[in-house]
Amino acid sequence: MSRTRHAALCAAAIASTALLAGGALAQTADDLLNDHKTPSDVLVYGMGYSGQRFSPLTQINKENVKRLVPVWGYSLADNQGAEGFPVVKDGIVYTTTHSATVAVDALTGKTIWRVAHEYPPETLRVVCCGIVNRGVAIYNGKVIRQLLDNQIIALDAKTGKEIWKVHSPEPVTIENGYAMTGTPLIANGVMVVGVAGAEFSHRGFLEGYDPDTGKHLWRTYTLPLKGEPGSETWEGDSSLTGGGSSWVTGSYDPELDLVYWGIGNPSPWNPRARAGDNLYTNAVWAVRPKTGERVWYYQTTPGDPFDYDAVQTPVVATIPVNGQPRKVVMQANRSGFLYVLDAKDGKLLAANTFGKVNWASGVDMKTGRPMVTDVYKGALEGKNVTVWPSVSGVTNWQHMAFSPQTGLLYINTLHVGMTYEAPEPPKLVPGRPSGSGTVKRTVVTDDPNIRGYLKAVDPMTGKSRWETPYRSPNYSSTMVTASGLVFTGVMTGEFQALDADSGKVLWSFQTPSGIVAQPITWERDGKQYVTVMSGLGGVYAQRAGDPNLANVPLGASLWTFALFDK
Amino acid sequence: MASRTSHLILAVCSRMPVPRQDVLRLFVVLLLGVIVSAGPDRPARAACDFAPVKQQIDVVLDRDHERGAKFRREVASGSDSIAAMEALVSAEMREKIDICRYDVAEYLTKRGFPPFH
């Protein structure tokens, strides 16, 4: 057969497949609700609204995982960080880079469509933490994503054709410090999106859109204006440039109809320009998706000097609390404390360290406030102090997984401290840098060859069942299966499966670049697959100066693995 | 320049005698102003022109021993490398560095001074 005829036949076959699949491409609200029960699809960021990243699939298990091999690899033709969460629907994988959205045949790795996105070059001035995007939402036949320059675009899932495109309303501009790197969350028919920019003196918010039309429905700012509740926690008019980003996607509980979303650090990093608790930054929020009403909040690090964003996706689960099952949200915070909150009212149920911490000795369970040490107090006074953890936190944005079977959280942690000093703070205006340039810090390590651990952690105590050390911290998210496997990626490129009971590495595959992405698993025609992106980049790889990463090649690619049949 | 232009506008509006070349200059200035302000998608900030910025960074790091030593001292003591560089250059170059912030970060990282986060 000639190459031309072969190519034509392949194209026709792919087109027919896409057309046949078309009728099944619509994703209703019910599909999203049941995502965690339908392992043939992965529709919601976090593998289900709870954000547990737990799969009931068991075909790949501890005994046979050694036979896991790549089925296909797909070049994303990009040299920036690949942090995306791939979505799978009807045999198609949808994923993103900062500048493209792709639909790929899930079984063959062939392109179905690819759409390039352009943004003004000056956009990059306000991208503090890597030129990235973390993936798409899928709803009613549309693939929806955010763009770096604060636009949101809906593409036809079958063809990639643009259906609608909107810009987040004023004052959201690059010039005012705003950028978008996250993934929308569609809850109760409303698309909730967050924004980045606390390193550029913006005023953060969450907002809701109609996912069918792109119509803007609501915006809830994370910082109060003068006279509003909470404004008494800001010095002068500092809340106008006070940060409070919402750059990492949240989770959702359909029974309570609450979206849980982590809110980021106050701006500037230097705390001497904004004395007070700085509500409602560094807090876990519970929000009504229809209106944006904030139902409750819990602030983790009041008056934060150390960039301890509370942006980790809160994980929803029912766990035993004082011997009784209770629906909770859990957040492994950048501050080093693991918080367990009642999902309905935000009541603090547990707060324990899960890494090395010296800025607070604990959390007062009556007031919910951290019991800060001289380290924290000295930082506010402008003294040079040695702090654990560093500005990168004990976790950063990378997501943890929760297994209802073991009751454990699987968390990629950092083990890095810092010296810290806040000199006289600068005068800030919207859009001007307000992050690392406003303080001084140097890296402190216990052992330069162990900068992170993957830990299996008891949520109520913070204690580890096991800890597996890594030379550099893993900025990949984790994923856990009912067969007792934890999947994660390593920044030097290894994609690994570990024993969920012991932390032993059972399988490892070297991908072409470092992994800072989010593994998923799914099944098709009775066969289980695991998919992950490779492609070093993002905040740690580009900003930490970790010598272990100096020679890791760049280049984003998408990989799918399955058990070798013969 | 702005002051001279406003005087010229006042003179023309008051029907005072004005040299012909000055009227022509006023016309050109006003026309340019209209064109610039009417641009619907005019970015508030220019795009990054990295070549002169890179040149300036190289001067500080490789040729100007005094500023180079100060830069290294500041970074070693914990200052962010972009902030430390901005403090050592002119206001005009500081603005250029800010516009090129991302490229500057990448270049300083290559030179062994990654800005931290």
What is the structure's pLDDT at B8? 47
Q: Please tell me the distance from the alpha carbon of residue B49 to that of residue B68, in angstroms, as a whole number.
A: 23
What is the structure's pLDDT at B14? 52
Write the CB contacts of B51 (distance below 8 Å, at least 6 apart in sequence): none
The answer to whether B109 contacts chain A (CB < 8 Å) is yes
CA distance B18 to chain A (A): 41
Q: Is the peptide bond before A425 cis (omega within 30 degrees of 0)?
A: no
CA distance A136 to chain B (A): 25
Identify the DSSP state of A233. G
Q: Please tell me the distance from the alpha carbon of residue A248 to that of residue A315, in angstroms, as a whole number.
A: 13
* pLDDT tens, residue by residue, A30-61: 999 999 989 999 999 999 999 999 999 999 99
The terminus-to-terminus CA distance of chain B in angstroms comes to: 43
Please check whether residue A404 is in contact with residue A480, taking contact to mean a CB–CB distance below 8 angstroms: no
What is the structure's pLDDT at A418? 97
Write the CB contacts of A70 (distance below 8 Å, at least 6 apart in sequence): A509, A559, A560, A561
The structural domains of chain B, with segments of one domain joined by +, span 2-41, 50-110
Please check whether residue A42 is in contact with residue A31, taking contact to mean a CB–CB distance below 8 angstroms: no
What is the structure's pLDDT at A430? 87
What is the structure's pLDDT at A79? 96
User: Among A174, A437, A543, whose Cβ lies nearest the Cβ of B114?
Assistant: A543
Identify the DSSP state of A437. G
Q: How confident is the model at residue B21 (pLDDT cuts 50, 70, 90)?
A: low
- Phi, psi at residue A109, to the nearest 5°? 75, 15
Exactly one of A41, A105, A149, A307 is catalytic; name it.
A307
What are the tokens at A560?
């799918």
For residue B76, the Cα-to-chain-centroid distance in whole angstroms is 28
Closest among A559, A531, A100, A2 to A10, alpha carbons compared: A2
Q: Please tell me the distance from the alpha carbon of residue A133 to that of residue A491, in angstroms, as a whole number.
A: 17
* pLDDT tens, residue by residue, A468-483: 999 999 999 999 999 9
Burial of A385 (0-12, 13-18, 19+ CB in 10 A): buried
Report the side by side order of strands in the sheet with A452-457. A401-403, A408-414, A452-457, A464-470
What is the structure's pLDDT at A26? 64
Write the CB contacts of A422 (distance below 8 Å, at least 6 apart in sequence): A269, A270, A271, A272, A305, A379, A380, A382, A438, A439, A440
The three-class DSSP label of residue A231 is helix
CA distance A544 to chain B (A): 6
Q: Is the peptide bond before A171 cis (omega within 30 degrees of 0)?
A: yes
The answer to whether B49 contacts chain A (CB < 8 Å) is no
Provide the number of CB pairs (under 8 Å) joining chain A to chain B: 83
A307 is annotated as an active-site residue: yes
Q: How confident is the model at residue B5 (pLDDT cuts 50, 70, 90)?
A: very low
Cα separations in angstroms, A83 against A80, A136, A436, A491: 9, 12, 22, 12
Unique residue bearing structure tokens 């994988």: A93
Beta bridge partners of A419: A386, A442
What is the structure's pLDDT at B17? 57
Q: Please tell me the distance from the alpha carbon of residue A544 to that of residue A303, in angstroms, as a whole number.
A: 24
Q: Please tell me the distance from the alpha carbon of residue A334 to that of residue A342, in angstroms, as a whole number.
A: 20
The terminus-to-terminus CA distance of chain A in angstroms comes to: 29
Please check whether residue B93 is in contact with residue B53, taking contact to mean a CB–CB distance below 8 angstroms: yes
User: Among B44, B47, B80, whose Cβ lies nearest the Cβ of A437?
Assistant: B80
Beta bridge partners of A42: A88
The residue of chain A nearest to residue B110, with distances taken between CA atoms, is A550
Containing B21, the helix (H) or strand (E) segment is helix B20-38
| Residue ranges in chain A whose pLDDT is less than 50 | 1-4, 7-23
Q: Please tell me the distance from the alpha carbon of residue A168 to that of residue A246, in angstroms, as a whole number.
A: 14
User: Among A421, A440, A539, whose Cβ lies nearest the Cβ of B117?
Assistant: A539
CA distance B33 to chain A (A): 22
User: Among A121, A392, A436, whose Cβ lies nearest the Cβ of B115?
Assistant: A436
For residue A153, the Cα-to-chain-centroid distance in whole angstroms is 20
Please check whether residue A411 is in contact with residue A354, taking contact to mean a CB–CB distance below 8 angstroms: yes
What is the structure's pLDDT at B16? 55
Whats the size of chain A, residue-wise?
Answer: 566
- Phi, psi at residue A216, to the nearest 5°? -75, 125
Selected residue of B42, B96, B102 to mutate for chain A interface (largest A Cβ count, 10 A) = B102
What is the structure's pLDDT at B47? 84
Using only the alpha carbons of chain A, give its radius of gyration.
22
For residue A51, the Cα-to-chain-centroid distance in whole angstroms is 10
How confident is the model over B60-73, as a mean pLDDT?
A: 97
- Contacts of residue B103 in chain A, CB cutoff 8 Å? 124
* Residue B10 scores a pLDDT above 90: no
Selected residue of A440, A442, A554 to mutate for chain B interface (largest B Cβ count, 10 A) = A440
Is B78 in contact with A441 (Cβ distance < 8 A)? Answer: yes
The residue of chain B nearest to residue A131, with distances taken between CA atoms, is B102
- Phi, psi at residue A8, to the nearest 5°? -65, -45
